[in-house]
Amino acid sequence: MIYVCGYIYSYNLIGTLGVQNPTSVAGDMLVYPNPASDLITFSAGNMTIKGLDITNTAGQVVLKKTNLNQREMNLDVSSFNPGVYFARILTSKGVVTKKIMVK
């Protein structure tokens, strides 16, 4: 029971809604070095990288790679303008988004 502003509320817990283990996928994905000026390595640990989208801060997709099926990959960012980008990585266990910085 909860007492709020003169009223008593009673409730029963019927379950939870959410994502199971949200850190398990993100925690297994390593992105290094960050910031970088030439190559960035994406290492998926015990997962497989299936696809990769790189977007700028305006939400524009600047790079898209599909059908990768790799546990680790190097990305050449030497042609990118310096700034902040977001890597959306599709893995065998879900989707991970990481912020990357190009200098």
What's the pLDDT at 34? 95
Residue 70: is its pLDDT beyond 60?
yes
What's the pLDDT at 90? 94
In the block, which residue shows the tokens 């059908």?
67
Number of other residues whose CB lies within 10 A of the CB of residue 59: 7
Query: Taking residues 29-57, what's their average pLDDT?
Result: 95
pTM of this structure: 0.75
Q: What is the mean pLDDT of the chain?
A: 86
Q: How confident is the model at residue 61 (pLDDT cuts 50, 70, 90)?
A: very high
Which range among 7-21, 25-39, 49-63, 82-96 shows the weakest confidence by mean pLDDT? 7-21
Identify the bridge partners of residue 36 per DSSP, sorted by sequence position.
102
